[in-house]
Structure 1
C-alpha cells in the first residue's frame, strides 16, 4: 500500500513537472488542466471571463474544499501579468501552484495552509498583452496594455477622482469575480521595480497627500503585509537593488508616495471589495531572460507562502440574531477604523477583519438598532492557521426583511473626493511634520 502511494505521488509529480521557461497560453492551459485533473480533490480550474481576443482568464483554486466557500475558511488570491510585458509573476504563480499541490500531505506548513485557506491563483489577467510580446525586454513594450490598448491597472473605478475610461472585459471580469467571493487578502504581481507597495495609490489631503503619502485606516496592517513579503526576499529588502536612483527603505513603499495612480486595482479591492491588496514589483527588468527564472523563484518562494498565511491575521466569525439566525449585510468594523464603504457580513453572516495583535472593539450595526460593541483581544500568534474566532450573538431578532441577501455596492464614484477628515492613521507624526518642514525650508 505504501509503495503504491509512493509510486502514485511520483507519477503525479512527473505529470505536472514544470520547467523554468515562459509558458504561453496553450502551454499554460495544458499545465493548469493537468494539475486540475491530477489533483482534483484539492483544486478547481475555472475561467472568470475572457480577454478582448477571447482568451480565457484562468483561475486555479487550491484548498481542501476548492469548489465552494466554507464558513470560517478565508478566501485568498494572487493575480499576475495584468501588464502583459511584466512576466515574472506569471511564471512564479505557475511554480507556486506546482509547489502547493505536490507538497500537500508532505510539508506540514503547506498541508495546514491548504486545510485552512481557499487559495485562488490567476497567472495572467492580460493574456493578450503577454502574447503580443515574444522577445524579452527590460523596458516598456506594447504588450503592457490589453488588445484595446488600455492599461488595466488604470481601468478600475477610482475612490478619489472620476475615472472616465472604457471599462475593459478583463477589468469587468475581475470586478464580477470580486462580487462572487468573500476575498480577504490579495496581491497583484508586477515587474519593472523591486518593492512591495501598499494602498492608497491615489489620494486627497484627508488621506495624507499634503505629506506625500495616502494612508488607509488600516495602515498598520498594510505596512505589516508589505514588510512580511519584502523581508523574506533577499534582494527586495535591500531597497535599492535596481540601481535606478529610487530607494525604497526595507523594500516597502506607500503607493502614492512612489507616484499617484488613477484607477488602480489595489485601491478598488480595498474600497469596494473588502479585500486588502498590495502590489508586488518583483523584477527590475519587466521581461527578463528565461535563465533568470529559477533565481526569481528562489528569491520569492518563501515570501509567497508567508504572505498567504497573513490571511489568518485578526478576527473572524459570524453575526447571529438571538435565534442564532445568521445576519447578512450587517456592518462589522473595528471601532475607530471604519471604512468609507462599510465592511459588511456576507450571505452567511460571516465577517473577516484583518488586524494586528492587540485589543480592539468590534462595532456591529444592524438597521433599526443601536450599535452592538464587542471587545476582543488578538493574540500575538495565530493558532493553527486561523484568526481568532469570535461569533457575535445580538440580543434581538434581526429584521431580515430589511437586510438584502447580497451586499449592495457603494456607488462607483469618488467616495473620498469631499472627505474633510479621516482616520488618525493619516495624521502626520511629529517626526514626519518636522521632516516636511525641513524639506520645505531647505528646498
Structure 2
C-alpha cells in the first residue's frame, strides 16, 4: 500500500479517512457486478495478454493493425505493443503479423526497472489506491482544506458509483470568473497510476498554497478542476478482486452480445466512428459503443464540460487527460494525419505544438500529434477541441515500455512519476489565460 501521501494527514484527517474508507468499502462490497461478485478472482483465461508486434513501423501500418480490434498500448520505431486475448493473437498471426508475448507485462509477472534489472516484487493491486481509498482520501483532503477544495458529484457510472470533480482555488466554494483548467484521470480502468496523479495534484496544490509562489499565483488566478476517476466501475473490476485483470473499458453490458464494456475514449461525439480509428465489435478493447455518448461516463464528462459554458463562453480553457503508458504528450487531431483541418488552423496547431513541447521538455516525454501514433476517432482530445474549443492534451505516463511494467509498474515509482509532471502542469496553468501568447500572438486571445 502506498503511504507517503496519507502520512502527511493530521490525526483528525486520518480518523475521517478511516471512517469514510470503512463506509465506502461496505457500500462497495454490496455492489453487483455483471460478471460475478467483486471479490471473485479472474481466471487466467479472462486476462488478455500483452504482445510485441514486430515489423510495424509507420502510422499507417499501426492504424491498420488497430483496425483489427486490438488496442495499441505502446509504439516503438519498428514494433508496437498490443493487448490481445489468445484468439485475437492467433488471428493476427494467421494474417502474417509477428507476435511475441511479453510476460513481464502480464499481471503478477516480474517487471524490469530503469537500469534493466528485475524488480524482486511485481506490482499488485494493493500497491495502488483503490476506488474506495481514493474516495476517502478526496473526502479527507476536502475536509482538511475546505477553502481550497470543493467536491461535487457530477454524475454516476453505469453501476451507480459517484463520479466526482474537485474544484481548487483560493476560494473554492465560490464559482469565480477565471480561466478554468481541467485534469481528468482513469478513463481506462487499468491505468491506476493516473488516479495517483490526481491525488498528487490535489495534495500538491493544497499544501503548496501560501508556500510556493507559482502554486499560490495559480490558485489565486485560476479555477482548477480534478476528476480523479472517470471510470470507477472499471477501476473496481480491474483492481478489487486482488488480481489485476488488464481491463480497459467501462462495465456497461452490450445489447445482443456477451461482451462487456465500451471504450470511453472512442465514444465522444466528435468524428465518432468516422475514420477507422475505433471498433464496431463489442468484444474489442476499442469498441466505440452503439452511438456517440452511449456510455454514461462519457455523458457525465461532456455534460459537466458543457455546464461550464457561462454567458455563452466556455470557462474551461485547457485540459490534460492522463493515461498510461508510453511517456507521451499528445494533442489533436487524432482522426486525421493532417496537422491542420477544419476547426484547427496553422496558428492553433502551432500553439498545441509549442506548449506541448514545452511540457514534454519538462517531464522527458515525447511530444507529437495524436495521429502520429495511429488514427483514432471519437476521442476526448478531438471532442474537447473540435466541439468546445478547449486546448486539450493527453499525457501517457510512465513507463515507456511494457518490460518496465506496462500498465502495472511497481508502486515504488508512484511518488517519482507523479511528481515528474508537476512542472508540466504548471506550464499549462500559466499559459491557460492566453494560449496564443506561447507563439507570440496574444492579440488572438479573446477578451
- Does TM, scored on the shorter chain, surpass 0.5? yes
TM-score range normalised by the length of the shorter chain = 0.5 to 0.7
5 Å-filtered alignment, 1:236-255, equals: 236=365, 251-255=366-370
1:304 corresponds in structure 2 to 425
Contact 2:180 2:316 survives alignment (8 Å): yes
Q: Deviations over 1:232-257 (max 9, x none)?
A: 114x2xxxxxxxxxxxxxx1111111
In 2, distance between residues paired with 1:179 and 1:208?
23
5 Å-filtered alignment, 1:302-381, equals: 302-314=423-435, 354-359=436-441
Please state how far the C-alpha of 1:361 moved relative to its aligned partner. 5.7
1:164–1:190 distance in 2 versus 1, CA, 3 Å: closer
Find out whether 1:193 has 2:326 as its counterpart. yes
In 1, distance between residues paired with 2:171 and 2:419?
29
- The CA RMSD over aligned residues, in Å, is 2.9
Contact 1:59 1:121 survives alignment (8 Å): yes
Per chain length, whose mean CA-contact separation is higher, i.e. which structure has more relative contact order (CA < 8 Å, sep 6+)? Answer: 2
Contact 1:136 1:287 survives alignment (8 Å): no
- Asked which structure has the greater CA Rg, the reply is 1
1:407 corresponds in structure 2 to none
* Alignment: residue pair count: 293
1:21–1:312 distance in 2 versus 1, CA, 3 Å: farther
Q: Structure 2: which 5+ residue stretches go unaligned? A: 1-7, 18-125, 253-260, 275-287, 309-314, 400-405
In 2, distance between residues paired with 1:145 and 1:230?
27
1:227 corresponds in structure 2 to 357
Q: Structure 1: which 5+ residue stretches go unaligned? A: 1-9, 237-250, 315-353, 363-387, 392-443
1:53–1:293 distance in 2 versus 1, CA, 3 Å: same
In 2, distance between residues paired with 1:253 and 1:204?
11
Find out whether 1:145 has 2:249 as its counterpart. yes
1:260–1:355 distance in 2 versus 1, CA, 3 Å: farther
Please state how far the C-alpha of 1:159 moved relative to its aligned partner. 3.2
In 2, distance between residues paired with 1:295 and 1:82?
22
In 1, distance between residues paired with 2:246 and 2:129?
19
1:116–1:21 distance in 2 versus 1, CA, 3 Å: farther
Contact 2:129 2:196 survives alignment (8 Å): yes
1:155 corresponds in structure 2 to 267
Tell me the TM-score normalised to structure 1 length: 0.60
Find out whether 1:122 has 2:227 as its counterpart. yes
**What secondary structure sits across from 1:193 in the alignment?**
coil
Please state how far the C-alpha of 1:299 moved relative to its aligned partner. 2.2
In 1, distance between residues paired with 2:221 and 2:361?
24
Contact 2:183 2:227 survives alignment (8 Å): yes
Of stretches 294-303 and 267-276 in structure 1, the one that deviates more from structure 2 is: 294-303
The match for 1:294 among 407, 415, 418 is 415
Please state how far the C-alpha of 1:161 moved relative to its aligned partner. 5.1
Please state how far the C-alpha of 1:136 moved relative to its aligned partner. 7.2
2:373 corresponds in structure 1 to 258
The match for 1:53 among 159, 164, 168 is 159
Tell me the TM-score normalised to structure 2 length: 0.60
